[in-house]
Amino acid sequence: MEELPREARDTLNREQRRVYNAVMRHFKELNQGRQPRPLRLQVDGGGGTGKSYMVKVISSHLQAEAARYGRISPIVRAAPTGVASNEIGGQTLHSLLRLPVDGNYCPLSEIPTVLKALQRHFRGIYYLVIDEKSMPGLKTMAWIDQRLRVVFPENRDEFFGGLSVILIGDFFQPPPVLNKPLYSTRDNLKDIEIVGRNAYLSFDESVFLTAVQRQ
């Protein structure tokens, strides 16, 4: 995890700072013993709008804030591909959540050792960043939702197991392969795709990064 000084937040533009403030304010409420509802935040922005830099600043400052309370970093970062995950210092969605690469989804209840390992990995985690949102489709979104409900069984009735999710990217980038885009309508959707669509519709706040800048 990067170690960026507190002053790094002052290099964020207004739109980036809005995302930063939303996450840091949410984490502050958690540390004060409150129970704010999970963040469901979409951040849209094309190339050069500083998405990766913003993620790194937020991640660094969350880690520093958590350390004050003797906790581990509360955020994990992932993307559909290795290249994209490297950009934000994360890992692939398939590696993080043990998602299938061949399309054959297997419930974690059938592989208890993997489930226990995932639950240990997500202990103390409150935020998941997913970059390159154009690439995961409805089926993948359903898998992410289902995985996290099992990882956090106490919140199995909530989308993503009650985890805060920040979805980042640009729908003008490459679409999903053999998967319907997240913005698909209900027409001709399969059951698993409807699950993914419902999970995607839980995102109720959006921020658009419009300033092109390279930090």
The CATH number of residue 152's host domain is 3.40.50.300
| pLDDT for residue 1 | 67
pLDDT band for position 16 (cuts 50, 70, 90): very high
Q: What is the mean pLDDT of residues 151-164?
A: 97
Distance from C-alpha of 78 to C-alpha of 98, rounded to nearest angstrom: 12
Comparing 154-158, 175-179, 199-203, the range with the smallest average pLDDT is 175-179
Domain enclosing residue 125, as ranges: 6-209
Q: CA torsion angle for 60, 119, 147, 160 (degrees, to 10)?
A: -50
| pLDDT for residue 12 | 97
Check if the beta carbon of residue 2 is closer than 8 Å to that of residue 60.
yes
Residue among 77, 78, 76, 69 nearest 30 (CA): 69
Check pLDDT > 80 for residue 2. no
Enclosing H/E stretch for 167? strand 164-169
| pLDDT for residue 110 | 80
Q: How many domains does the chain have?
A: 1
Angle at 18 between CA 14 and CA 21, to 5 degrees: 125
Whether 27 is covered by a domain: the verdict is: yes
| pLDDT for residue 118 | 96
Whether 215 is covered by a domain: the verdict is: no
| pLDDT for residue 212 | 80
Share of the chain above pLDDT 70, in %: 98
| pLDDT for residue 111 | 87
Q: What is the mean pLDDT of residues 63-86?
A: 93
Whether 145 is covered by a domain: the verdict is: yes
CA distance to 13, 19, 43, 137, per residue, from 200 (Å) = 27, 19, 13, 10
Check if the beta carbon of residue 97 is closer than 8 Å to that of residue 104.
no
Residues in the chain: 215
- 40, two tokens: 């469901």
